[in-house]
């Protein structure tokens, strides 16, 4: 599933089913100025690398979640739920990939 995002971070178009992820990512990367957001790079990015594709910019939601939880733990804070709907977490569910444009 691919959802293009606008400058404000909201959907620019309705989400679309992608038949060939590698081809789609390659096309967006050629266009430049794309920032990817995906639930976890652990498996997804490995498949892209296997197809010879590298991305210039991406956000790994699971990694960001782990960083925030680590920071909270270091400060002695606790959270009852974690973001993204990833396994073992509660909270708002991530819907898949997103391609956005603009500066980070």
Q: What does the pLDDT look like over 83-96, one tens digit per residue? A: 555 444 433 333 34
What is the pTM for the complete model shown?
A: 0.64
Number of domains in the chain: 1
Neighbours of 6 (CB within 10 A): 12
Cα(80)–Cα(89) distance, rounded to whole angstroms? Answer: 9
Tens digit of each residue's pLDDT (9 = 90 or more) over 30-85: 998 898 998 888 888 989 999 999 999 998 998 888 888 887 777 776 654 455 55
pLDDT band of 100, cuts 50, 70, 90 = low
CA-to-CA separations, 6 to 12, 34, 103, in angstroms, rounded: 5, 11, 11
Q: Domain limits at 45?
A: 2-101
Q: Is the pLDDT of residue 20 over 60?
A: yes
């Amino acid at each position: 599933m691919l959802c293009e995002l606008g400058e404000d971070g909201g959907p620019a178009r309705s989400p679309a089913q992608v038949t060939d992820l590698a081809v789609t990512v390659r096309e967006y990367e050629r266009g430049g100025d794309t920032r990817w957001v995906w639930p976890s790079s652990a498996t997804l990015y490995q498949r892209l690398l296997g197809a010879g594709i590298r991305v210039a910019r991406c956000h790994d939601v699971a990694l960001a979640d782990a960083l925030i939880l680590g920071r909270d733990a270091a400060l002695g804070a606790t959270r009852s739920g974690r973001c993204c709907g990833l396994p073992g977490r509660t909270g708002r569910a991530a819907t898949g990939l997103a391609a956005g444009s603009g500066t980070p």
